[in-house]
Each structure stands twice: as C-alpha cells, then as structure tokens.
Amino acid sequence: MKWLGRLSLLAVLAIVFAGGVLAVQMLRSLPRLDGALLLPGLVKSVSIGRDASDVTHIQAASALDAWRALGFVHAQERGWQLEFNRRIMHGELSEILGPATLDTDKLMRTLGIIPMAREQLKNLSPLAQASLQAYSDGIQAAWRTGAVRPSPEFHILGTHAGGKAGQAWSPEDSVGWALMMALDLGGNWGQEFARLTSSKVLNNTQLWQLMPPYPGEQAPTLVDLPALYAQLGVYAVAKTSAEAAPEQPSKLSTQRSQLAQWSAEWVRDMGTLDGKGSNNWVVPGSHTESGHPLLANDPHLALSAPAIWYFARLQAPATVWQGQSLPALDVMGATLPGLPFVVLGRTRGVAWGFTNTGPDVQDLYLEQLDASRPGQYRTPEGWAAFETRIETIRIKGQGDVSLTVRNSRHGPVISDVQPQYSGLINTDAYAVSLRWSALTPDNPTIDAGMQANWSQTVPQLVQAFADHHSPMQSVVMADTQGEVAFKAVGKVPVRGPDNDIRGVAPAPGWLAKYDWQGWISYAENPGLNSEQIQAKGWHATANQNILPADYPHFVGADWTTPERFDRIEQLMAATPKHSLESMQTVQNDVLSLGGAALLPHALKAQPTYAMGQKAMKLLADFDAQMHTQSAAALILNVWADEVTRAVLAPRLGAERFQGLYGKRHFRAALQGILARDDKFWCGDAGCSAVSNAAMDRSLDRIASKLGRDPTAWRWGAWHQAISSHKPFGKVPGLNALFDVRVESAGDLFTVNVGQYWANDKTEPFANRHAASLRAVYDLSPAGDSRFIFQTGQSGHVFSPRSRDMSQAWAKGHYRALHWPVTPYQQELHLLP
C-alpha cells in the first residue's frame, strides 16, 4: 500500500509538473508588449504603443517601416489567424487537419485564389507591391527572430507558421486575402444554385414565391427557369419516385465530425449573401449638435475568435521613395490581419465606412458536354477543350490526393467540387462553371486601399476608391471641412439587352448573349454629393437596393430586404440634431421590423398546450424588441422556424430544404404564404392548421430546455453570440476554451443584427453573424470617436486581451478612439 501511495503521489507530481511546463510554455508564447526587440529590415526604429483602449499606435520614420511594423504586430497578436487564413486560401488545411477539410481544399484549389493573386500582384503599382513586401517581411522576420512564439494552436496541431516551406506570409498572400474577402462578400452564385435546384421540384410561379423579388420589384427575369432546365435535360434522372418525400439523413452525415460538417457546409453555402451585410450612415454638420459631420459603421460578418479586425494607427512623416513623394501617413481604425492598411477608419482629415452593396458579380454557366468529345465543351464558336491542371493535396495521416481542375472560357468548373451538384444535374451532359468579377488579373483593389490611407478630404477619398474593384462596397464619407458623400465603389459587369436570364440563374454557356460585355464605369456607379445629403439630413445604407429609380443598368436582384434600412431611417428622422450618443443608440437598436411583420400571423395561432395561453399573452404584449430578457422574442423566432420548416420542407424535400435553409431564412416567402393562406404550400387544411401545430411544437421545444413556465423563458439563453475559433470551434472540448460566448440581443432584421442559422443541429438560434465591429467617427476638431468589437485585440487564447471587449460589445458600450495620448499603457520599440 505504501508503494501504491508513493506511485500515486509521483503520478500526481508528474501531472502537476507537466501542467506547469505547459503553462510556462503558453505564457512564454504571449506577445511581448514592452521593451525593445530587433526587426531586421527596418530603416529606423519604430515605436509601438498601446493606449487605454488597447489600440496599437505605430510611429515610424517612413510608410514602409510602418507597414513592416504592422506585419510584425499582426504576427505577434494574430499569428495563428494568419496561418489558418493562409492555409485556407492555398487549399492546404488538410495537411494539418486531415481528410475532414478535403472538400474545402478542393474548392479553393479549383477557384485558384493564389494563382490569380500572383497575376494580380504583378499588375499592382510598384509602391503597392513594396507595401505588401514590407508587410510580409515584417511577419516573416517576427517568426525568424523568435520574437513571436507559437501559440497553443501550433502546439496542438504539431505545425509551425508557413508549414513545410516556412514562408509564413508573402505579398501574394495579401492579394489572396483581399480576394477571400471579395469571395465572402461579393457572391450570389449560391442563390443561382438555389434557383437551379428548386426549379427541379417547383414551377416558375412557385419558384418566385419561394424566392420573392425585392419589395416593389418584379421578378428579374421573364424566363421560365424550370421549363428551360427541363427542356435542356439539365437534371439527373431521379433514382426513385420519392423526390419530394422527406429524406432521412445519411449515415455518413450523422457520423461525420463537426469539423468535417463545417467544411462541407462552408463549401455548400459558398456564394450565399443572406445576412452578410452592414449598416452605415453619415450626418452632415447641419444636422449634428456639434456642427461637424458624424459617421457610423457596423459591418456584419461571421463572428470569429479572434475577431476579423485589429485596431491600429499608422503614422509616418512625408518621405521620398524611389523618387516618388509620399505624403505624411496618419490613419487609424480597423486593419485586417493579412493586409498592411487600415480598411475602415479615418485619417486626420477624412473618415469612411463600408457596407456590402451586393451586386451580381458572379454568374453560373451550364457547359454542355458530349460523350463523343471527352474533355471538351460547347462554345459559341463550336467545341473547345477545357483548360486543365493537376493539383496535389496533402492529407495528414493519409496519402496525397490528386485533383484535376477544369476551366472553361468562363472560369473554374465548380460542379466538380461542390457535392450538391451530384445527383442534381446530368453530369454526362453538363458541367457548371463560374464567372466571377474578382478573378481577373486587372484588379487594383490593393492600390485603392493604400491610397485611401493617405486621403485627407472626401474628393481625395472618392478618387482613391476609383481603383477599388472587388467586392463592391457602399461607402459613406465625411471630412473635417464639412463635406460628406456616398459612393458605390467596385466593378459590376454589363449584361447585354438580350441577356434574358440576367445572371440570376445558370445560363447556357454556349450562347454568346449570356456573356458579359464589359464593366459599368466608376462615374456611373450610384453616388450622392454633399449637397444632396445635406438636403435630406443624412444618408444611410444597409444592403438595401441603392439604385435610383432611373438607373440605366441591371446591377442585380438579390438585395437584402429593407427592414434594417427602414428602421435606421425611422430613427434618424426622429432626432433633429444627432450626437455621438444618438449614433450609438441607433447602432444598438433591437426593434425588429421583420418580427413585427410576422407577429400578427403568430397571434392567430391556437395552441393546445395548457401553457399556450401564457405564451400567447406574452406574444400579444410583445413590442418586437428583441431583448435578451424577452420570452416573446424566443417564442416568435422558434415559431418562425417551425412554421418555415412545415410549409417548405414537404414541397422541396427534406434534403434539399436542409441544404438551402439556415443561411437563407426564407422569411419573405413565409410571410407571403401565410398572407395568401396558400394551400399549395400549407396543404388542404390551410395555413392556420400548420401555424397551430407549429406553435405547439415550438412551446414543447422550448419547454424541454427551459421549463414549462413561459414567463421564465429568455431569448438570450438561446441567442448567445458565438465567436467561433478556427478550427477548434468545431472540436468538442476545445471549443469551450477557444470560443468566445456572450448572450446577445437582436434578430435577423434588427439594426443591431443577430443572425442565426436555424439549420444548425446543436444551437440553431445562436448568433453567428452580427456587428463584427461598431464605430462612430466624430469629424470635429475634438475627434472624439468610438469603437468596439466582439472579442479583443489579442488572438492568444490565454491572454485576457483576447475577450475583454465581449461584454461591452453585447451591452452596447464602446471604447474611445483617440489620436495619441501619452503615456501609453505599454510601449515596445522595434530596432533595425
């Protein structure tokens, strides 16, 4: 027994010792924020100070030194984020994560993000190329000198920055990351697929009931899409006669890991814009208390840990580079790890904010095949060979996978790598390719971002953004001289008058009338000048249709419905003179116009449960404010999910519905169906029967988790904002450590948006897509601006700075965004 006791003691001591060693290693990997470190390549020393808001201030002797230092800081603070992002755009996740992410790697290799980035890099200005090189050198030097130590992710996965090649970052990676942002924000090819797959089981009228046109508009095409695809023989022959019958999930899908499920869904949902939006508005000084302009911006993106943004200030005096005079640099705001510039923010003279415009810059094409002509496809001039290349994908724990990538004259053949096409289209007769505006060698978006950081006035900013290509953004601007403006910046293709499908669904690729015919000029992009905005008192965008009534070009049809925009308009009009505080109040508003529109339908439900009367009383008293404490908000959103499933899934088929639902909420379709009491969708008993049953299921569903007293239910309990780590947010056990969670307000339609993915199997009402940051810029001499985002500046899971903003973000609080105040909280000096 003594020996057993001693062995147990030794085992405990060994565990404690190992834990201590691990803790020391983890603490050593935290970034050094004080003292002095060497950064090879600098011309002169650089000061990096962190203020009370934890904003990083970089003071350098030249712009190139500032960009190099920002690369160093991003490597320090977001080393794993950079590595994961590098791997995803290179299609190299499976090298460290195994076969679970093979679908993602295949799609990225097929899109050819990195090969296109190399081409685009060559066409950038010499100064833009130099900026990316300096930034990349800063990242690389941070790792090579040992100034940055691997964070826990590297140890857990047994890898290091740059992988086997050891190249932690390169200029082409920065261009590639700009393309990845365009991929995330600039796509509607998922909507085109949704129309293609739905057209297999619906007629044309039913198709446009499922995906209604933007309010007040007609369907963007008069082509009967289901009839067209049937006539062409696009669809695969069904293996069974039960196409629309509820399908059971496959054994594979129920057993696959959460990581594999994430990868599969990421590939499936690519090109879906629902929920990917933002709010911005600008108020001229004539309508503010200070007499100076105010500008607000909150971009809505997938919540991640660490956050997508890193707040910094870059400062350098005017210099000369290779005979070119460079102005003084002084810019502060949100940077994107991977790029050397402030993407959203302000200089001393001018501020700007983005929302996603959402034009149609992606078209799918049906490429006709012929079994007698292997490797060829039909073009307007006859049959042509696909361009092909072989991609080798390394997979951890397995042999390499060889992928043959095909390209048509339109672009990559995505039906080869998106599994949803299997079983849908007749792959012996057709393939589907993608034309995407961003995949062109002439894409100087990087140059536009660099020039914006030097701008001091609205006219200078408008000129800088003339080079912005992808993704198209709706930009509001304001300067310290009192000028304000709005401009849509980016490239949109011109479609000919005989293009009757207009890019809203896959078009026959062998017909030249569906080819693009150039670009809409920058001068023709929608915009408003200072005088026009002054007349109204403000200008706001929230991903609604921004086109004037007489706009001559077709830009797209998949706009976000205008609930957020309409609510912003209400709030802006209600306050004659705006202040910093009123702007923040608007950003945090949680009255849901979408919820208010659906509420009358929910109130008609007649639940059979005993607790139903309490629940209906809560709904009757509901003001559509989606607060965390609201029981009615929870009841309404769960009922909306249940009734959506009940009316759509039987007609689409369970598998098709599951593939389309979640990232798409189909709320406009639901409201139309309930308003018409549409028996095609609801069945012969009508929509009231469906609604009643859905309410019973909703109450039972909630009660099973939160108890049978509806007055004790809370929206916040099911609507936690989850900033998910990549990849450990999808690994049970590790996600509890690496994710950042906080209860949140809002819903799909509130200004303070809180988008949930109702098809998620574990947390269908968790807030996944929300304000990735909130900022309000004051253009008065005081410059008293504010910001917040949902995690923290650090990307190190063991740093308190990795989540120290989360509670403030959820409560609608902000941090100060000031020009330098001394002394800094920490100050690090980088030496040549």
The predicted pLDDT at position 244 comes to 44
Per-residue confidence (pLDDT) for residue 18, from 0 to 100: 41
* pLDDT exceeds 70 at position 20: no
Greatest Cα pair distance, the chain, in angstroms, is: 91
Rg over alpha carbons for the chain, rounded to the nearest Å, is 27
The predicted model gives 372-393 an average pLDDT of 98
pLDDT surpasses 90 at 22:
no
Task: Indicate the pLDDT class of residue 565, thresholds 50, 70 and 90.
Answer: very high
Q: Higher-confidence residue: 479 or 761? A: 479
What does pTM read for this prediction? 0.95
Statement: residue 286 has pLDDT above 60: yes
Please tell me the predicted confidence (pLDDT) of residue 27. Answer: 66
* 211-253 tens-digit pLDDT: 999 999 999 999 999 999 999 999 999 765 444 444 443 333 3
**What local confidence, expressed as pLDDT, does residue 239 receive?**
64
Look at residues 93, 112, 90 and name the one whose alpha carbon lies nearest to residue 103. 93
Q: Are 340 and 175 in contact (CB under 8 A)?
A: no
Exposed, middle or buried, 115 (CB in 10 Å: 0-12/13-18/19+)? middle
Q: Of 282-286, 696-700, 735-739, 818-822, where does mean pLDDT reach its minimum? A: 818-822
**Exposed / middle / buried, residue 280 (Cβ in 10 Å: 0-12, 13-18, 19+):** buried
DSSP-derived letter for residue 298 is E
pLDDT at residue 240 in the model = 52
Over range 244-271, report the average pLDDT: 68
Average pLDDT of the chain to the nearest whole number = 94
% of the chain surpassing 70 pLDDT: 94
25 pLDDT above the threshold of 70 = no
Name the token pair of 156: 């857990």
Q: How far is CA 74 from CA 58, 133, 155, 165, 592, in A?
A: 12, 15, 19, 20, 37
Question: CA–CA separation, 824 vs 818, rounded Å?
Answer: 12
Omega within 30 of 0 (cis) for the link into 727: yes
Contacts of 310 (CB under 8 A, 6+ apart): 56, 73, 74, 77, 78, 334, 335, 336, 337, 793
Per-residue model confidence as pLDDT tens digits over 179-201? 999 999 877 899 999 999 999 99
Each residue of 420-447: b (16+ CB within 10 Å) or e? Answer: bbeebbeeebbbbbbbbbbbbeebbbbb
SS3 at position 714: coil
Cα(736)–Cα(767) distance, integer angstroms: 16
| pLDDT score of 242 | 44
Q: Of 24-33, 281-290, 697-706, which gets the smallest average pLDDT?
A: 24-33
Query: What are 342's two structure tokens?
Result: 């402030």
578-627 pLDDT per residue, tens:
999 999 999 999 999 999 999 999 999 999 988 999 999 999 999 999 99
> Do the Cβ atoms of 124 and 14 come closer than 8 Å?
no
How confident is the model at residue 21, as a pLDDT? 45
Read off the amino acid at residue 15.
I
User: Is residue 255's pLDDT more than 60?
Assistant: no
State the average pLDDT over residues 4-32: 59
User: Using 50, 70 and 90 to split pLDDT, how confident is the model at 29?
Assistant: confident
Does pLDDT of 80 surpass 50? yes
Rounded CA-CA distance 502/378 in Å is 20
Mean pLDDT of 489-495: 98
**For 164-183, how does the pLDDT look when each residue is reduced to its tens digit (9 = 90+)?**
889 999 999 999 999 999 99
Query: First-to-last CA distance in the chain?
Result: 63
Q: Taking the CB of residue 701, how many other CB atoms lie within 10 A of it?
A: 15
Q: Are 40 and 138 in contact (CB under 8 A)?
A: no
Which pLDDT belongs to residue 277? Answer: 78
| Residue 10 pLDDT grade (very low, low, confident, very high; cuts 50, 70, 90) | low
